[in-house]
Structure 1
């Protein structure tokens, strides 16, 4: 089982929005809704490019902006991380069933470690972070890496995602995909099962997705 983190397991996109808006304000501007939506599921480097371009300030130091943002988000992660509806229960059911499980996120390890204090390190056999792969989502590398580390063929894995970028990554890797949209709409896609909430997901559904993928 391959879980995305931001917007899928935890309600963290709102925290990123708070921090991004604050950073934009320090630059004397405001972040557009369109640019914010384009950032969901992307790497920090990509988000900084989108932010600076959106503000008409492409000359800004991306590394300095990323450092400021990571520090602020770490503060918010430490106090305000919450599970998305149904996420805690689904993770618990997967772990109780003994299913190999990975967390696959575009977020950097430093911030993931803060989030894991809430969502539980023991819930995952493997954690793949955005700054630990050469290519982040929508490239398939993060999901292929997680499957390899779990020792499970990617074709027998189910990935749970909330963003177009994440869905594209999981599909390109060859995983079965369960999509649960959060902050960004998801268009219908072949090979993707969609739910409005993880409260409707259970082990029977996940097994059916895996069987369909391998069958």
Structure 2
């Protein structure tokens, strides 16, 4: 018998949705507007960041001094640009839709935990189906977004569970660091930036082929506390 997590906490951008490609466009446009060049290194440094941290990296690259940094104006510009891009449709990460159906079929509660601001999260939720989730936590609703643990701690507390009972699914170094800081076992499916191996993480190339046995094994290998039980898979066809 193998243990399943008591809950699954899903990152959204880059994990469930292949939306980082759309964010790439918006961030490059904003960088150009600010007078900076969007290099691969700069873009990777912003992946999974809160709005404030991402903007500060762009301001740094553009050489904009602290007194001249208008976070609210540039954040609104970025929200508007991303909204335009989302309107044409947001693609799924490979295997993500089936993974959601798997976890739902196992009657495991799911929560969206994203650094994305609430207003943009609401634009993306119709694609993944808000009815699938018992709650949604956004980066502008906690004192500190990822890589701080606040979002994951809030999600676990909302469910009345210890962080060690919740499996996090992430794609970025920033999100994985937040899950680690919160004490959550983590399945990492990297998108645009490599994520280093670490204790408490299991890395997988994609969500394709995820089944109950694999979910339980990932949870065990990542150091999760015991949850529900799943019978061993039958041998043979």
TM over 0.5: yes
Q: Deviations over 1:154-205 (max 9, x none)?
A: 1111000011111111111111110110000111111211101110422222
What is the CA–CA distance in structure 2 between the aligned matches of 1:147 and 1:191, rounded to whole Å? Answer: 17
Q: Is the 8 A contact 2:167 2:187 kept in 1?
A: yes
TM-score w.r.t. structure 2 length?
0.86
Check if 1:81 corresponds to 2:90: yes
Paired residues of 1:35 and 1:50 also in contact (CA < 8 A): yes
Aligned to 1:32: 39
Whether 1:122 and 2:131 are equivalent positions in the alignment is: yes
Aligned to 2:102, the other structure's residue is in SS state helix
**Do residues 19 (structure 1) and 19 (structure 2) align?**
no
Corresponding residue of 1:47: 54
- Identify the range of structure 1 (204-213 vs 1-10) with the bigger mean alpha-carbon deviation: 204-213
Contact between 2:36 and 2:58, CA under 8 Å: does it hold in 1? no
Q: What residue in structure 2 maps to residue 100 of structure 1?
A: 109
- Determine if contact 2:36/2:61 at 8 Å carries over to the other structure: no
Matched, 1:90 2:91: no
Give the whole-Å Cα distance in 2 for the aligned partners of 1:153 and 1:186: 25
Which one scores higher on RCO, CA 8 angstroms, separation ≥ 6?
2
8 A contact 2:16–2:96 mirrored in 1: yes
Query: Considering only CA atoms, is the larger Rg found in Structure 1 or Structure 2?
Result: 2
Of residues 204, 212, 225, the one that matches 1:214 is 225
| SS of equivalent residue, structure 1 residue 213 | coil
Tell me which residue corresponds to 1:2: 9
Contact kept, 8 Å, 1:43 with 1:107, in 2: the verdict is: yes
Contact map agreement 1:102 1:150 (CA 8 A) in 2:
no
Q: Match of 1:158, SS?
A: strand
2:230 maps to which residue?
none
The answer as to whether partners of 1:158 and 1:178 remain within 8 angstroms in 2 is yes
Give the paired residue count. Answer: 215
Secondary structure (helix, strand or coil) at the match of 1:7 reads: coil
Runs of 4+ in 1 over 3 A off after TM superposition: 209-212
Q: CA shift at 1:17, angstroms? A: 1.0
Q: What value does the CA root-mean-square deviation take over the aligned residues?
A: 1.4
Partner of 1:137: 146
Take 1:6 and 1:48, find their aligned partners in 2: how far apart are those partners?
A: 17
In 1, Cα distance between equivalents of 2:24 and 2:170:
19
